[in-house]
Amino acid sequence: MSKRLEASGYAKNKRRFNGPVMIDINGDKAKTVSYRGGADYTDQSTVFATATYRDELRKIEGEWKIVHRVQAQDASESAKQ
């Protein structure tokens, strides 16, 4: 997906960042909440998107794996008006 978006020009002059991650571990299961943002640095830097990830993880054969993810995109200020 990232390569396709880069080739389309969508990702040009944009950066994405995740964090902080809050983790609640219970044996071989865990739940996390983290935040994602996207910024465009073309002319005047601006944040263009934010969202929240809520993940469920399981430890499978010694490695933590995401088994379920819900992404909730925040509404932009311009969409609220």
Q: What is the model's pTM?
A: 0.68
- Residues with Cβ < 8 Å from 21, sequence gap 6 or more? 32, 33, 34
Q: Whole-angstrom Cα distance, residue 61 to residue 35?
A: 28
The residue among 22 and 18 whose pLDDT is bigger is 22
Mean pLDDT of 51-60: 96
pLDDT digits (tens, 9 = 90+) for 4-21: 877 887 778 888 888 889
Domains and CATH numbers, the chain: 2-74 (3.10.450.50)
